[in-house]
Amino acid sequence: MRVDVDGDLGTEQRYLAGLYARLDAERARAGAEHTAALAGDGERAMDRDVRVRATARRMRQLDVADHGLCFGRLDAQDGERRYVGRIGLRDEHDEPVLIDWRAPAARPFYTATGAHPEGMRRRRQFHTRARRLVGITDEVLGRPGEPGTDDHGDAALLAAVNAPRGEGMRDIVATIQAEQDEIIRLDHPGVTVIEGGPGTGKTVVALHRVAYLLYTQRERMERHGVLVVGPNPAFLRHIGRVLPSLGESDVVVTTPGDLVPGRHVTAEDPPAAAVAKGSLAILDVLAAAVADHQRLPAEPVALELSDVVVRLDAATAGWAREEARASGRPHNEARAVFTEIVTYVLTERAASRVARGWVTRDDRDAWADLTRDLADELHADAAFTAALDALWPVLTPEGLLAGLYADPDRLRAAGALPALFRSTGDAWTVADVPLLDELVDLLGRDPAVTREQERAAQAAEAREAAYAAGVMEILTLDREELDEDLGVTVDDLTHAGVLAERFDERDTRDLVERAAADRDWTYRHVVVDEAQELSEMDWRVLMRRCPSRSFTVVGDLAQRRSPAGARSWDAVLDRYVPERWAYRSLTINYRTPAEIMAVAAAVLAGFAREVTPPESVRASGVRPWALRVTDDELPAAIAAFVRDEDGREGTSVVIGPPGTPGAVPPSGTKGLEFDAVLVVDPDRILAEGPRGAAELYVALTRATQRLGVLHRGPLPAALAGLAPAPEPLRSCAGGHRRAGAG
C-alpha cells in the first residue's frame, strides 16, 4: 500500500544533495572536455567535429537533469537499493549511484505491482521542488489486493495529470505507467503502432520510446538521427521540449507539409482533390504527365549545318524516345540517351551526304573524325538545342506539377480527375508535397547542374591541394615543431592531399540542420503522430526516408478527419512491412476527466460505435456546460470565458468551425491539451466537412479540467445532457437561459 513518509526526508535529502554534487562535477568536467574539443589539440577537422558534438550532447544531457534528477528508489527483496532518475551517474569507484530510467534495472519502478513485485519489496517516490525534497510516498509491494496497489491510483501520477498545463507537453519520465512502459521498451525492429483514444498519452509514450531507442541503440541511430512527423506547427511547438528534457536532440521534427526541403506548406485541398492526390493512383497520372513532355515533332525540324541540311523527323525522335524510356533512367537523365540517338542518326545522315566521293564508312578513322566534327557542330547549334528542349525538355518537379494543374488539356492527357485543376498551378497544398517528392525521383537531377556542381567540387579540392603543397614548400619548421603545431609528423605528410585535410573546413552544421536540408537523407527511426491523417502518398515519402522501416506510428482511427487518411492500419502497412508490424493499444485516459469523457463518448458512439472510449483515470468534479446565445451575444460570451480563464492558472482555448472569430478550428488543436476549452457552434462543426463528428470529438477531448459549449443553433442530441452555464456567462446571454433553450 502507499503511505506518505516524513521520517526519512533528511536522509534522502542528503543522498539527493550528493547526487547533485556529482552532477555539478560531471557538468564541469564535460564543459572542460567541450572546450578542449573546440580547441582541436591537433586533431583532424572531422575527428574534432565528432568530439565537439559528443561533448556538446553530454553537456545538454547534464543540463536538463537538474529538474527531477532523481525521482524514486527501489528496494529489492535481497536488500539492494536502486535510485532511479533522469540520467545515470556513477561514483569514483565506477559504481552506479543513480540508474537511468531507461536502463533494464529501472524497469520495475514502472512495472512492479502488488501481484507481480518483480523481486522488489518497496517502491519509493520522491516529490521534489528544484533540488529540495518536499515529500516521500512509499508503496509496499508483494501484497496484492491491498488498498493503494491498483495500477492507476498513483499519487505522483494524479498530481501530474491534475497540475495546470503550461505552454507545452511535459515528459512523464517520473510517472510512466505499466502499459506505457511496455510499449516504450518494446523490442521490435519493424513498425510499432500505438493506438489510443484521447488523453491516453500515446504521443508522449512515442517520444519516450525515441529516447529509449537512442539510449539502447545509440551507436546505430545517432549518425542518421530520428525523424518526428506531427500534424501541424502548433503540435510541434507543443511537443518540442519533451525530447530535449530527456537529453536527446538528434531529432528532426517536422510536418507533412515540410518534408520537401525548401517548402513550408500548410494549405489544404478540398476533399475531392485531397483524395485524388493522396491515392496511389496518382502515380499513373504523374508518370503520364512526364511522358507527355517526351514528344515527337509534328513536322520534320530542319537543321542547317555548314555543308548540309538534315531533318529531325518523327521516326528518328520515336526511336530515340523508345531507347531513352527503355534505359530506365529518370526523365532528365534519360535526355542524354535521347540526345545520343538523335545525334547518331543525324550525323550519319549528314556524313553520308558530305563524304560523298571522298570518304566511305570503310575508312573508319576518317569517318569517325567526320561524324565527330558534325556532332560538335550539331551540339553547338541553337536550333538543335531548341529542338531537344521541345521534344525532351529538362523538367523540375515544381514546373511540371504547376503546369499540369493549370492546364485542363494536360490533365486530361494524363488521365487526371478534373478536381485537380486550379488556375494558379503553384498554389501548393500539403497534399502536393508527396507528389513533388515523387517527381524528384521520376525526373532526376538536371545533368547540367550536376556537372557544374562536380566541377565546382573538383576545383575546390584542387585549390586546397595547391594551397597545402605551397605550405609544404615553405615549411622550415623542424620535425618536433611540425608535430607540435599540426599534430602530424613530417613522415605522415606523404603528399599534399594529407596536409589539405588538416586545413579542410568540414560541414560544421549539426545533424538536425544537415538532415532537414537534405531530401535524400535517410533516418534510422521515424515517429509519425496523428498517423491516421496520412494518405497513401504520404506514406511513400516516409518509407523513402527510412529504408530500414523502423517506425513508431501513433494514431487513433476514430479521430481521422482527412478524407484521404487511413481506414485501417493493415491497409497502410502491409504494403511495406507485411508481418513486420506490431500493434499496441493504450486504454487509460490520463488527460480527460470522466465528466468530459462521458460527453465525448456520446459523440463517439454516433459515428464509431464499435470503438470503446478510453477509461478516465480521474474525475474533476466539474460538469461540462452549454449555453445557447444569439449572434449578437456570441462575442460577449466568448470574451467572458476568456476573462474568467485569464484569472486562473493554466491554459485555455476557444475551438470553433473555420472562420469563427477568435476561435481555432478543431484541426489546429490535434494532439494538444488545455486546462479549459470552449467549443463554439458544435452543430456547425458536425455539418462541415466529411468527418465533422470526428472533428467535434477532437474538440471536446482537448480539455483537462473544464469544458463549455456555446451554440447558436440547436444543440446536437449527443450534448443534450450538458449542465447550465455558470452565472457570469448566462448574464452575457441576456438573462438566465437554460442549456439548450431557445
User: Residues annotated as binding site for ATP?
Assistant: 196-203
> 34 — phi, psi (to 5°)?
-65, -40
Residues 6+ apart with CB under 8 A from 24: none
Residue with cell 518509407: 543
234 CB neighbour count, 10 Å cutoff: 15
The CA radius of gyration of the chain, in Å to the nearest whole number, is: 33
Quick check: 628 and 742 in contact, CB under 8 A?
Answer: yes
| DSSP code per residue over 386-411 | HHHHHHS----HHHHHHHHHT-HHHH
CB 413 within 8 A of CB 288: yes
**Whole-angstrom distance, CA of residue 569 vs CA of residue 251:** 25
Specify the DSSP class assigned to residue 715.
P
Per DSSP, the residues of 576-602 read TSTT-EEEEEE-EESSS-HHHHHHHHH
Q: Tell which residue, 631, 634, 586, 635, has the closest CA to residue 613.
A: 586
CA distance 46 to 508: 9
| Distance of alpha carbon 512 from alpha carbon 523, whole angstroms | 11
**Among the residues of 356-494, which ranges form H helices?**
364-379, 382-391, 397-405, 408-413, 433-443, 447-474, 479-486
**Integer angstrom CA distances of residue 580 from 357, 555, 609:** 71, 18, 29
Cβ(266)–Cβ(258) below 8 Å: no
| Phi, psi at 20, each rounded to 5° | -65, -35
| 736, 728 contact by CB (below 8 A) | no
- Residue 464: CB partners within 8 Å, gap ≥ 6? 500, 503, 504
| Spatial distance between the Cα atoms of 426 and 413, rounded to a whole number of angstroms | 20
Distance (Å, whole) CA 197 – CA 557 = 9
Contact present, 351 and 370 (Cβ < 8 Å): yes
Distance between CA atoms of 146 and 611, rounded to whole angstroms?
Answer: 33
Q: Which residues contact 138 (CB under 8 A, 6 or more apart)?
A: 2, 3, 4, 5, 122, 123, 124, 125
Beta strand 70-76 with 89-90 is: unpaired
Binding residues are 196-203
**Sign of the four-CA dihedral 490, 491, 496, 498:** negative
Q: Which helix (H) or strand (E) covers residue 214, if one does?
A: helix 202-216
Which is nearest to 16 in space by CA: 111, 85, 63, 107? 85
> Between 433-443 and 282-291, two packed helices, what is the crossing angle to 10 degrees?
40
Could you give the CA distance from residue 472 to residue 238 in angstroms, rounded to a whole number?
55
Show Cβ contacts of residue 494 under 8 Å, excluding neighbours closer than 6 positions. Answer: none
Q: For the chain, how are helix, strand and coil distributed in percent, rounded to 5?
A: 45, 15, 40
Q: Are 395 and 443 in contact (CB under 8 A)?
A: yes
For cell 534522502, the residue is 12
